[in-house]
Chains A and B, each alone.
Chain A
Amino acid sequence: MHSQLVRPAGARREGLYLLGVCGVILLAWAAMVAQRHVVPVKTELAPWQITAFGNLNPAEQGLFGDLWATAVEIDALHKDNAGVWPSVEDLSDLAMPPFPQDAMWEGRGRHVWTANRAEYAGGHAVVYLGRTASTKDARTFALVLAHRHPPVPPSKETRDPPREKAEGAAAGPADAFFTVWIHPTGDTPFPPIAKLGDLAQAGWKEIVPVRGADAPKGDKK
């Protein structure tokens, strides 16, 4: 006797196929969106820190960017010049921003720059202080560069407390570092150098950038 199984008429299997195809399309679309989506950078901040991304006005962002880039060159000059930090006049003559009094200086608060150098156990440091002439344009800035002299390791007494906790926030060669700080007033006294931890207590805020190294890693291996 010959028998044959006849499946009931219906679209159950076709429906499943269709669902599967829709699923694949959805997954592919989600993957594409995920790949193209721009990921905002999040920065962990300590109480004495602010972010260059969100806490500075455009003029201050420009000033900060200039100081951050020029710090690298100041460090190189210091190395090539027998450990002497360049003066404000040197930096202006070399057209290193933000030190020249050019058109940009005019529109960004007309900061008056002075420098103060100091020796401390294990190294030496310099502070370039830019007092603003117009707080409505931009606040007062300080660029702090410190250079440790190996093989003296930083001790608890000589370490800079904000820097210690903000490891990774600033950049620089292994034996040097720099930080950029901001203060709301134009007549602030010169920041203390020997103990930079006092900066935060004196009302200064360290500006933390989003660096290339902090950018989403999807672009790197």
Chain B
Amino acid sequence: MRLLGVLMAAALLLSPGAALAQAKPKIGVTLHPYYSFVSHVVGDRAEVVPLIKVGFNVHNYEPQPDDLKRVMDFDALVTNGVGHDAFAAKIVQAAGMDGKLPIIYANDGVALIATAGYEGERKVPNSHTFVSITASIQQLYAIAEGLGKLHPDNAAYYRQNARAFATKLRQLKARYAQRIAGGGDMRIKVATIHGGYDYLLQEFGLEVTAVIEPAHGLSPSASQLRDTINKIKSADVNVIFSEIEFPDQVIDTIRNETGIRVYSFVHISDGPYTKEKFEEAIEYNMKQLTDAVLDVRGQKP
């Protein structure tokens, strides 16, 4: 009788129902930085699952059948929600999950800045809040709060994790701010290949004078490139920030025609999804940025 009881208990533990009861909630994410943010916030208490597979360009992504199956398995979805992952809304709708799947819009409380390159009445919000430290920290807290409402037992744990990662990121930024402290003027004129770095540049006190490619994924035509080169020349730009994915020949042309130094950023939107990705990429970007500042000041390390 006693043995029967043990066997029944073991069977219960091994049953799919028991496995389901112990399964961690699945939190979907749309972009690489959000994979990192959510992984840090939930720790080992939830599974973080990318909505789309590696290798696609998120700027022009069209939903795939696999995405619909995947989203139906999510307990919540964390999104950028200001233009960088519009595909998520299409997938949720196509999967019939509208109103059923809790969606956390990480940027709802974030103060957006206008995209450099769009002037006057055409000012539009910049969706690249994830290529920054300060706006990312605000999103971390928003994610912790949103997920905490869904899992009240974990709310304090999520907030604690968000704060720990935020502290780490702030210390990282302070280290790079220290590199350029007390060394001279921050009024450096900057041109960027893509409008995705405005938040990072702004928090380091750099102003974008010209944007070469306001719309991502579109290489400038010959006439646009000529206009850009003229604009950079007339704006008396000190440094150009490109991105690693941009065609080398365009950068070489700009460098050769203008004689201006070029540094490259990472857009944090490709490669494997990892918990460390954001931290590694943003540190790379801060190193590039501070290298450029030191270079312009004639203090190149």
Contact = CB atoms under 8 A, between A and B. Distances in A.
Interface of A: 38-41, 52-54, 58-59, 61-62, 64-66, 68-70, 72-73, 76, 94-97, 100, 102-104, 106-108, 171-172, 209-216, 218-221
Given A94-B170, A102-B177, A219-B81, 20 more contacts: A38-B122, A40-B122, A53-B113, A53-B123, A65-B202, A68-B110, A72-B138, A73-B163, A95-B171, A96-B170, A97-B134, A102-B174, A103-B204, A106-B181, A107-B187, A209-B112, A211-B107, A211-B111, A212-B110, A219-B83
A38 B89 CA distance: 17
Nearest to B144: A76
Contacts of B141: 72-73, 76
Nearest to A212: B107
Contacts of A59: 205
A69 B85 contact: no
Contacts of A40: 121-124
A103 B183 contact: yes
Nearest to B167: A94
Given A219-B81, A221-B98, A68 B183 contact: no
Q: Sort chain B's interface into a size bin.
A: 35 or more
B121 A65 contact: no
Given A41-B125, A65-B203, A221 B89 contact: yes
Contacts of B66: none
Contact of B207 (A58, A73, A95, A103): A58
A221 B137 contact: no
Interface of B is mostly: mixed
Contacts of A94: 167, 170
A76 B163 contact: yes
A68 B112 CA distance: 10
A208 to B, nearest CB: 9
A69 B111 contact: yes
Interface in B67-123: 81-83, 85-86, 89, 92-93, 98, 103, 105-114, 118, 121-123
B165 to A, nearest CB: 12
Contact of B114 (A39, A53, A68, A104): A53
B182 interface: yes
B180 A210 contact: no
Contacts of A107: 185-187, 205
Q: Which of B103, B118, B177 has the most CB of A within 10 A?
A: B177
Which of A100, A103, A215, A218 counts the most chain B CB atoms within 10 A?
A: A103
A65 B170 CA distance: 15
A215 B123 contact: no
B40 interface: no
Contacts of B112: 209-212, 214-215
Nearest to B159: A76
A58 B112 CA distance: 13
Nearest to B174: A95
Contacts of B177: 100, 102-104
A58 B205 CA distance: 8
